[in-house]
């Protein structure tokens, strides 16, 4: 069976505010810019992207569960859920799809509570502190690990 040529892009709480939320930390690119950049990077490698952003953890978990049916991998910026959500971790490990964890800012140069991630030890790829270009980097690194 040929693996699906689709990635799920998940953006967690508050990422809908990209472009206006703390531009000194997150830049001026919008969520639409991030989605376009990710789709372009995936397309260059023969993949399409389905994107979801929500401020509600259950919506993100449902989208991750659904990805099991038609996605080869997941690129996720869990936002603040990085540091708090065992449920998100359980969803990601439960679907058994490789995933890339992305953070726009360098979380290790910010408040100490941001240094811990519930996902770091189960992510196939981690890209931290490369701005929105980190999404494209995550796509390339993740796809390189997927079966042809």
Which of 47, 103, 118, 135 is an active site residue? 103
Cβ contact 51:135 at 8 Å:
no
Task: Choose among 91, 84, 69, 83: nearest CA to 10.
Answer: 91
Evaluate whether 32 touches 19 at the Cβ level (below 8 Å).
no
Query: Known binder of ligand: residue 104?
Result: yes
103 is catalytic: yes
Marked catalytic residue, from 26, 47, 118, 135: 26
Q: Is 57 exposed, middle or buried (0-12, 13-18, 19+ CB in 10 A)?
A: middle
| 140 assigned ligand-binding residue | no
Q: Does 121 carry a binding-site annotation? A: no
- Residue 26 bears catalytic tag: yes
105 is in an annotated binding site: yes
Residues that constitute the known binding site for substrate: 77, 83, 90, 104-105, 114
Binding-site positions read 77, 83, 90, 104-105, 114
Q: Where in the sequence numbering do the catalytic residues fall? A: 26, 103
């Amino acid at each position: 069976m040929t693996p699906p040529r689709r990635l799920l892009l998940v953006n967690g709480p508050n990422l809908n505010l990209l472009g206006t939320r703390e531009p000194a930390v997150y830049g001026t690119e919008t969520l639409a810019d991030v989605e376009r950049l990710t789709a372009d990077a995936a397309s260059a490698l023969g993949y399409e992207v389905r994107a979801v952003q929500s401020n509600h953890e259950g919506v993100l978990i449902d989208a991750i569960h659904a990805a099991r049916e038609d996605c080869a991998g997941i690129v996720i910026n869990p936002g603040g859920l990085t540091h708090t959500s065992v449920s998100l971790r359980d969803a990601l490990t439960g679907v058994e799809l490789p995933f890339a964890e992305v953070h726009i800012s360098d979380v290790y140069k910010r408040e100490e509570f941001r240094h811990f991630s519930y996902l770091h030890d189960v992510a196939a790829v981690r890209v931290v502190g490369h701005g929105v270009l980190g999404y494209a980097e995550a796509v390339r690194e993740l796809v390189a690990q997927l079966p042809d």
